Structure formats: structure tokens, C-alpha cells
Structure 1
């Protein structure tokens, strides 16, 4: 199980460092429903990752992703495809980065986050975790990586749970700061939000480059074995 957990840590960090969801959480924590929406968003994020992981682990298990610890060939090709898609996403992020002196363009849905209801906060978090292309690709890659180790189903579930918890640190950190710092939280969270917004494209591009190369490297190892 240690191998399964270790193989997904970098992917979990890639999910955790998602600037826009972190910005969304910070904005929610400035609203009247800060306490409820912040906690609900974290819960929704975990639910979104859990749904993706459950589906992929079941499918990969039925498709024999690994036998006696040896990954199936199709897993290698899947890693190639996922790696190329992640690299493409990183390239698009880098091309779309704001030029010097320009303000970064933020999605229109962020403007409504401060007025969002708890139910919609839950749904938004689940969507950002499970439907957002970058996070979806990384969650699929993580679940497939766990499945290919051929460990028992219960251990696979534990390994993916560890992945999901690490992947949630990014959106959970502002909530922890909010409850821990009290009156000082707005200043700290405001600085975090501004930094994330300004560096969103670069952060995403670098993450996608590193993770895309890792996935392709893993694929080469599988296909050459």
C-alpha cells in the first residue's frame, strides 16, 4: 500500500495547488455564510474526488489494471494520454497568462461566490474537484496508479483516501486560517487571494509541466517493462 500512496503524492499536490478553487474559498470566507460555506466547500471537494476515485477504481479493477504488481499495458498508454493532456492544459495556461502590467482575467462565476448558498457551494466544490479538466485528469491518474498495484480493494480505498485528503489541503487551508486567526484572518486571506489570482497561470503551467512529464515517464516505464 505504501507504493500506491507514494505514487500519488505528487498528483495530490497538483490537485491541492488549484488557485481558482482556493480563491473561491477565500471569497466565501468573506461572506455572511463564511463558517457554513467554508466547511461545506471542503466537504463538496472531498465528495467530488471520492466519486471520481470510486468510478475509476471499479473500472480499472474490472479491466485488470495490474496483476501481481505488474501494470497492464493499457495503463501505460493511458498515462501517455493523460500526460499529453496535462501538458496541453499547461501550455494553454502559459499562453493565456497576463502580460506585464495587465490584471489577470478571473472567471465570471467568482463574482457570485460571496452570495452563494451552502447547497450551491457544495455543488461548486464537487464540480471544481471532479469536473475541472486538470483535477479530473490527475484524479483519474491517481486512481489508475493505485489500481495497477494489484493490492486488495480495501487497501486501494485507503490509498485513494490519503490522496484525496492531501488533494484537499489547498482548499482546506483558508478555512483553517479563518477559524484559527480570527480577526487577523481577512488580512492573511486577502494577501493569499491576490497572490493566487496574479500567479494563477504560471502556477498551473508549472504544475502541469511537472506532472505531465511524470505521467509520461511512468508510462515509458510501464510500456518498456
Structure 2
């Protein structure tokens, strides 16, 4: 179990360091309906992460079993493909970074984020976590590792819980912190939002590249 946790932690971190969801959560925390929308967004974010990694874990568990010391070509091919997709996403992010002096562009829906309801925020959190291509690749990689490890049901639940906690931490911490210390966090959250908005593309490009190399390495090691 410990070895599987070690393998999935970088992937969970890849989900956690996602500027767009963090910016969305901060914008909700700075809106008039902060306590309602931020909690809805957090719940949607958590459920989306759990659903995605669980589905890929179940799919991976039906792959043919084999000796742990023997080569696992199917798992290796999946990891190589996922690594290649991460490289492509990294290239797209790098090419899309703002030029010097140019204002970074964020999704249009963020302009109306202070008007969303609890259920709208929930749906947004779910979509950003469960259906985002980058997060799906991370979930597929984690699910492949978990499903192929032949763990007990309790251990699988524990590993998925750890993956979810780490992956959701960058949304979970600001939301929970705001609920307990709203007055003290306003300025810090706004400064963080500004920095993430400016550096979004560069952060994501570097992150995807590093995790892509890790995935490729694991894929090669599976043969």
C-alpha cells in the first residue's frame, strides 16, 4: 500500500496545483455569497475527483493479472500514452502563455462567478475536477497504479482517500480557512488570485512536463 501511495502522490499533486480551480474558488470567496458558493464548489470538486479516480481504478482492476516482477506491457503502454498526452498539454499551455505586457486571458465564465448559486457552484466544481482533460489523465494514471496493485478493498479506499485529500487540498484549505477566518484572509486571497492569474500557463506547463516525464519513466519500467 505504501508503494502505491508513493506512486499516486505526484499525480494527486498535479491535480492540486491547478490554477484555474483555485482562482475560481478564490473568486467565490471574495463574492457576496462566499459561504454558500464556495462550499458548493468544494463539494463538487471533491466528488468529481473521487468519481474519476474510482472509475479508472475499477477499469484497471480488470486488466489481466500477472507476476509483480514480470513485465506488464498493457500497464506500460497506458502509462506511455498518458505521459505523451501530458507532454502535449504542457506544450499547449506553454504556447498559450501571455506575451510580455499582455494581460492573461481567463475563461469568460469567471466574470459571472459571483452570481452563481450553490448548485451552479457545485456543478462547476464537478466539471472542473471530473471532466477536465488534465485531471482525467492524472486520475487515469492513479487508477492504473491502484487497480494493478491488487490491494484489499479497505486499502483501495484508503489510497483513494489520500489521493482525494491531496488533490483537493488547494481548494479545501482556502475554503475551510475562510469559513473560520474570513476577515484575515481577504487580502492574501486576492494577492494569490492575481499571481495565479498571471502565471497560470507557465505553472501548468512546467507541472505537466514534470509529471509527464514521471509517467513515461513508469511506463518504461513496466516492460
Question: Does TM-score exceed 0.5, indicating one fold?
Answer: yes
Give the structure 2 partner of residue 181 of structure 1.
181
Give the structure 2 partner of residue 55 of structure 1.
55
Give the structure 2 partner of residue 196 of structure 1.
196
Q: Is the 8 A contact 1:72 1:148 kept in 2?
A: no
Give the structure 2 partner of residue 111 of structure 1.
111
* Residues 73-84 of structure 1 aligned to structure 2 (within 5 Å): 73-84=73-84
The unaligned stretches of length 5 or more in structure 1 are: none
Aligned-pair distance for 1:219? 0.3
What RMSD in Å do the two structures reach over aligned CA positions? 1.4
Give the structure 1 partner of residue 164 of structure 2.
164
Aligned-pair distance for 1:32? 2.4
Aligned-pair distance for 1:157? 2.1
Give the structure 2 partner of residue 21 of structure 1.
21
Q: Is the 8 A contact 1:83 1:212 kept in 2?
A: yes
Give the structure 2 partner of residue 45 of structure 1.
45
Residue 222 of structure 2 aligns to a residue whose secondary structure is helix
User: How many residues end up aligned between the 2 structures?
Assistant: 222
Residue 150 of structure 2 aligns to a residue whose secondary structure is coil
Residue 219 of structure 1 aligns to a residue whose secondary structure is helix
Aligned-pair distance for 1:72? 3.1
Normalised by the size of structure 2, how large is the TM-score? 0.95
In 2, Cα distance between the equivalents of 1:206 and 1:184? 32
Q: Is the 8 A contact 2:49 2:129 kept in 1?
A: yes
Aligned-pair distance for 1:15? 0.4
Aligned-pair distance for 1:36? 1.9
Aligned-pair distance for 1:69? 3.7
Once the two structures are superposed, residues 28-51 of structure 1 have per-residue CA deviations (whole angstroms, 9 ceiling, x without a partner) of 112222112212211111110111
In 2, Cα distance between the equivalents of 1:174 and 1:68? 44
The unaligned stretches of length 5 or more in structure 2 are: none
In 2, Cα distance between the equivalents of 1:197 and 1:95? 16
Q: Is the 8 A contact 1:67 1:148 kept in 2?
A: no
